[in-house]
Amino acid sequence: MPHIGLQLWTLRAHLHDLDRLLDQVAPAGVTAIEPFGLGDPRLTGAERVVRARALRRSAVRAGMAVPSAHVALPEPSAARTLVAELHALGASTAIAATPSSVAGFGPDALADVDSIARFADRLNALSDVAAREGIRIGYHNHAHDWADVDGRPAFDHLVDRLSPDVDLELDVLWAQLAGQDPAALVGRLGDRVRHLHVGDTLAGNRDVQLPAGQGDIALTSSIAACGRSVEALYIEATTPPPGTSIVELVTASAAWLRLAVALLVPPGDETPDLPPGTFPVPGYIGHLHEESA
């Protein structure tokens, strides 16, 4: 059973009050967090470890796991400090949120076949180094990863070049907004997908995120396609609907995800005949009290 997790970018404006917010979302079924911003080269190694320990204390206090974190990945020769930071955090997977998260690369890392090869080789090298310390390396997609490169999506070139030991964190919302079928992607990539980012929205107003299951992103079919390798389904959002707090959005999303996961039949049996987004959640967000988050 995967964790129902929360990418802390969702609470980025409220991290000064993290313990209180985790207390508010935990009863809805959030069992894990995914921090961001680790590996900050502007901080000393000691400062980074102190910050990681503080995040770990907040997670433990709330009864939550920390399976992974979004990090700035250094050169392989400089990975020791990042490994110490991840060990202090208790996370086993370091994920590059964008190509720019990897030292020496920028937004154009997936612009052509040669650049993709260099980028993939760097992730492979980092994976080899990190594995010796019990850490996995992963990559998180955005919509632009499906730009055409020599007649194929850049993402496909990247996956072909990456070692199977490099995890994929599939952002379902970004994949669908790029014109992809996220459930088909999850099925095709199989055990290489270790985490999902879960966000929802509606056509015509993509700048606003909705609670999971209330938009038109194919979350139900994507979750149904998950194999046992998936460790966490991370809620991520940036802009809730007007009049809705970010805590309300997270708690409603967690409730929907708990129900969705519970209703999915065991692997090998027939999948429930339900279209994406149709799992009901009693007491939908309109009946929740707005939190001043």
Tokens representing residue 174 in the block: 């970004």
The torsion angles phi and psi of 201, rounded to 5 degrees, stand at: -165, 175
Yes or no: say if 84 and 55 are a contact pair by the CB < 8 Å rule: no
pLDDT score, position 293: 29
The answer to whether the predicted template modeling score (pTM) of the entire model surpasses 0.95 is no
Boundaries of every domain in the chain: 3-287
pLDDT tens digits, one per residue of 234-257: 999 989 999 999 999 999 999 999
Strand residue runs (E) in the chain: 3-7, 32-34, 68-70, 93-96, 136-140, 148-149, 152-153, 167-171, 193-198, 232-235
Task: Measure the CA–CA gap between 189 and 94, rounded to whole angstroms.
Answer: 19
For residue 282, pLDDT over 50 is answered with no
Q: Measure the CA–CA gap between 254 and 235, rounded to whole angstroms.
A: 8
Q: For 122-180, how does the pLDDT look when each residue is reduced to its tens digit (9 = 90+)?
A: 999 999 999 999 999 999 999 999 999 999 999 999 999 999 999 999 999 999 999 99
- Name the token pair of 86: 């991840």
Q: What is the CATH number of domain 3-287?
A: 3.20.20.150
Q: Where are the beta strands (DSSP E) in 155-285?
A: 167-171, 193-198, 232-235
Confidence band (pLDDT; 50, 70, 90) for 203?
Answer: confident
Q: How far is CA 39 from CA 45, 77, 82, 146, 165, in A?
A: 9, 14, 6, 27, 21
